[in-house]
Amino acid sequence: QWIYLNGQYVKKEDAKISVYDHGFLYGDGIFEGIRIYGGNIFRCREHLDRLYDSAKSIMLNMPLSMTQMEDALCETIRRNGLRDGYIRLIVSRGPGNLGLDPLRCPEAFVVIIVEQLAIYPEEAYRDGLRSVSVSPRRNLPDALNPKIKSLNYLNNILVKIQANLAGVGEAIMLNSQGYVAEGSSDNIFIVKRGVVYTPPCYIGALEGITRGAIIELCAKLGLPLREEPFTLHDVYTADEVFFTGTAAEVIAVREVDGRIIGEGRAGPLTSRLLDEFRKIVT
């Protein structure tokens, strides 16, 4: 396996970064998770747009142009000979000193990892995941803006720990006002009486690329979709609940906090959206 390490291609065992890298010391950096389907990078430009917007927002100088970054992604995929897989693109503030001042980090550091991926077994897409709501709250735009896909994932890790303790696949995070925001690494949707709902991103959700693809698919299929704030009550009483994300794609939820959702397996609209999603990616 070959890793892109700031302009060089090195073996996985040799892919090392400085202990003075501010991505390591402070979580100071940004990243993207991207899929390759049949040799094509899914929505590459959208991922790069989000990455470069995140960089601009945190005043991180990108060492590569968007075209150079795309070339680096393609070359890393080529060297690893993968037609289907997952790309993790990381840009840290780079090596500096122990102080947190980013002025001490003259150059950002780029890492690209490409590997195979299977986060859920195929049955999970039919049967649905169990889920729970958890206590960590999603930051609102007045704190660290959820639109920035930053390397600071501690809150998401705390969510994942609670999911693990509850023995479930993904958890539901609320914002500080109690509205449903998203999962630890997925966006959330519910379906009620034929209408699809997802929280608007200002509630405290990443503007997911998969979320965007599902919103487009709903329009194409003539399914009514509303971006509206909702609460756990709406999740418990929904006909269907599902998560979306680059790694998870479209995964149904069959139970939330002990309440069975719909028939207790992937509902018809969720299954249809997953089928249609898999058609557009391949």
Q: What are the CA-CA distances from residue 102 to residues 8, 26, 154 (Å)?
A: 24, 10, 20
- Catalytic member of 12, 16, 56, 149: 149
For the window 222-241, what string marks contact with ligand PDD as x by the rule CB under 6 A?
--------------------
Q: For this structure, is 192 an active site residue?
A: no
Pair 139, 204: CB distance under 8 Å: yes
* Shortest spacing between CB 156 and ligand PDD, in angstroms: 6
Should residue 206 be labelled a site residue for ligand PDD when binding is judged by CB under 6 A? yes
For the window 140-169, what string marks contact with ligand PDD as x by the rule CB under 6 A?
----------------x-------------
Pair 203, 130: CB distance under 8 Å: no
* Shortest spacing between CB 96 and ligand PDD, in angstroms: 25
Should residue 208 be labelled a site residue for ligand PDD when binding is judged by CB under 6 A? yes
Pair 53, 23: CB distance under 8 Å: no
* Shortest spacing between CB 115 and ligand PDD, in angstroms: 12
* b/e 246-262 (16+ beta carbons within 10 angstroms → b): bebbbbbbbbbeeeebb
Among 162, 175, 210, 270, binds ligand PDD (CB under 6 A): 210
Should residue 139 be labelled a site residue for ligand PDD when binding is judged by CB under 6 A? no
Pair 112, 88: CB distance under 8 Å: yes
Map the footprint of ligand PDD across residues 165-204, applying CB under 6 A.
Answer: 182, 185-187
Give the nearer residue to ligand PDD in terms of CB position, either 92 or 156: 156
Residue at shortest CB range from ligand PDD: 33
* Shortest spacing between CB 97 and ligand PDD, in angstroms: 29
Find where tokens 């892109």 sit.
Answer: 4
Among 246, 256, 267, 269, binds ligand PDD (CB under 6 A): 246
Q: Which residues are catalytically annotated?
A: 149
Which residues sit at the interface with ligand PDD, rule CB under 6 A? 33, 156, 182, 185-187, 206, 208-211, 244-247
